[in-house]
Amino acid sequence: MSDKIDRIAETADEPMLPGVEGPIDRAPSTWWKNRDYGQRVILEVPAGVDVQSVLPDDNPKTALGKLKPGTAAIPPVAILELGRAMTNGAVKYGRFNWRDKTITTSVYTDAIDRHLLAFRDGEDLASDSAAHHLAHVMACCAILLDAIHTGNLNDDRRRDGAAAIAIDRFTGS
């Protein structure tokens, strides 16, 4: 491994690059092996993939930048719709209110379910906000993820795994 890769792996300045030999500009794009929160993400190159082929250029900054989460694959309209729903919530409840007080998982999953049911029933816009129901779903998910990462979540989910067991039973998986 190059000195730069060794330094990164030892100091955890950046995600580790196991199995990548040579200069840092040969680093892979993002393939996530470990998705557990609170643990370092380890990146691997799938067998048969030419690492250089996933990079748009040979600049070392590109190789390091491609290791970090990107936003280029997010449809801009989704970000704009999310912004409308989040702005509505900020006006109603206060901007980033979930960081000031602990939130409870079921409150947000119930809201997600209500917005999805309204969308499935043919309604596009929430009557109280004029924001798209799917944008409200994204907002709830964004808030839950933020609360998970900031430690502000009262996680009241069941842990018995009944849903996964039923899905396996119904689908024969």
> Which tens digit of pLDDT belongs to each residue from 143-159?
999 999 999 999 999 98
C-alpha distances out from residue 170 to 113, 130, 158, 166, Å: 22, 38, 20, 6
pLDDT over 60 (residue 36):
no
Average pLDDT of 58-80? 87
> What confidence category does residue 172 fall into, taking pLDDT thresholds of 50, 70 and 90?
confident
Q: Which amino acid is at 51?
A: V
Q: What is the mean pLDDT of the chain?
A: 79
C-alpha distances (whole Å) from 157 to each of 105, 110, 133 are 7, 12, 23
Structural contact between residues 24 and 5, judged by C-beta atoms closer than 8 angstroms: yes
* For residues 88-109, average pLDDT: 97
Give the 3-state secondary structure of residue 132.
Answer: strand
Q: Considering only 23-32, 81-90, 106-115, which range has the smallest mean pLDDT? A: 23-32
Taking the C-alpha atoms of residue 61 and residue 72, their distance in angstroms, rounded to an integer, is: 17
Residue 154: which H helix or E strand, with range? strand 153-154
Q: Are 24 and 60 in contact (CB under 8 A)?
A: yes
